[in-house]
Amino acid sequence: MTFLEVFDLDTEAPVIVLGAASIDFVGRTLKDVQEGTSNPAEILTSMGGTARNVAENLARLGQEVTLLSVVGDDNVGTQLLQHTEEAGVNVDHVIRTGQHPTSSYVAIVDSTGNLQMGLDDMRAIEALNAEYILEQEALFENASLLFIDANPDSQCLATAIEMAKKHGLPICADPTSRSLATKLQSHLKDIYLLTPNTNEAAIFCNDMQGNNESERGLNAARHLISHGVDLAIVTLAEFGLSYATSETDGHIPAAKIEIVDPTGAGDALSATVIFALLNEVPADEAVRLGLSAASLTLRHRGAVLADLSLELLYDELV
C-alpha cells in the first residue's frame, strides 16, 4: 500500500517543519587532530539546524513548506531568515526572541571528513512551546504532513503530534541526537517515518544485535516497525543504511565517496524521502533517492545542496 493510499492528503499543501534553525561552523582539520593545541583547519560557516535544513531541501525540491522555528533578534537571525526565505520556505511564523542569540552548531571534522565532535547552543529553542503550537492550528488544518526534529521540549513536541493527529497528518521525525532521541520514545506508534543514525537507534533498541553494521541496522529498523513506526531508516555512515516497513526491508550500501562536509546529509535524506512519498514514489525507491541526496550533500560544502532536484537525484541513484 502506497503512502497516499494510507493518508488522504492534499500533496500540494505545505509541509509543516518544526524544530531548530541555526548557524553552523564546520572546522575541518588539515592534518591528524592534535589534542590540547591549535590545529590548522578550514572553517566554513553555513545555514543549518535540522528542521531548517529539511525545510530548505523540501523547498528546493519544489515542495511548499512552512517552517516553525525560532531565531535570535540579532544579525545572524536576520541572515538566516533571509537565506531560508530566498530558498522558498515560508518563514512568516518563525519566532524572533531577544532572550537568547540565534542557535549555533560547531562541528569538528577530521581530515577525512568524519565528524569528531559536535557542540551546540540551542537555548533559543526554549521559545518553541505548546502555546505557540496551539496558535498555529490553522496551519495544521491546511497542511500535508508534519516533520519534527527533537530539539523542542517534550510538551511542545507532544502538542504538535496531537495537533497533526487531529487533522489527519502523517508525522515524520528525526531524533536529532542521542541525548534528544528519548523525547520521541513514547510517540513511536504515532510516527510514520523515523530516520535515526546508529547512535540514536540504540536509544530505541536496547540491544542492537547482529554480526555487522548492516545487520544491526536492519534489526533496529525492524524493532522500530514492531513498535509502531511505518517506515524506519537507520543510517549507518560509510555502511549506507538499513530500512524496514511492515512489508519489506533491506540494506543499501553507500557509494565510496570523498566526504567534504558531513553536516546536513541526514536532513537531505529525510527531506527527499518525504518529497518522494508525497509524489507517490514507492517506499524502497524513496529510500534510495534519500541515500542519493545524502551522498550528494556529503560531497558539497554546506548543509544543503543549492541545486538539489529530483532529476539530479535520479542521476545519482544507487
pLDDT tens over the chain, length 318 residues: 567 667 778 888 999 999 999 999 989 898 888 888 998 999 989 999 999 999 999 999 999 999 999 999 999 999 999 999 999 999 999 999 999 999 999 989 888 877 888 898 999 999 999 999 999 999 999 999 999 999 999 999 999 999 999 999 999 999 999 999 999 999 999 999 999 999 999 999 876 777 788 889 999 999 999 999 999 999 998 889 999 999 999 999 988 888 777 789 999 999 999 999 999 999 999 999 999 999 999 898 888 999 999 899 998 875
Buried b (16+ CB within 10 A) or exposed e, 137-148: eebbeebbbbbb
For the chain, the average pLDDT equals 93
Q: Regarding the domain delimited by 11-20+50-101+129-315, which CATH topology (the fold level of the hierarchy) does it fall under?
A: UDP-N-acetylmuramoyl-L-alanine:D-glutamate ligase (3.40.1190)
CA 146 and chain centroid, separation: 12
Calpha distance 287→270 (Å, rounded): 9
The set of cell numbers assigned to 213 is: 553494521
Q: Which residue stretches of the chain are H helix?
A: 3-6, 50-61, 75-86, 130-134, 137-141, 154-166, 198-204, 213-226, 265-278, 283-298, 310-315
pTM equals 0.94
The tally of CA atoms less than 13 A away on the side-chain side of residue 197 is: 16
Q: What pLDDT does residue 101 have?
A: 97
Taking a C-beta distance cutoff of 8 angstroms, is the pair 304, 47 a contact? yes
The set of cell numbers assigned to 293 is: 541526496
Q: What pLDDT does residue 8 have?
A: 75
Secondary structure of residue 308 in the 3-state scheme:
coil
Q: Where are the domains of the chain?
A: 11-20+50-101+129-315
Question: Residue 281: phi, psi to the nearest 5?
Answer: -80, 130
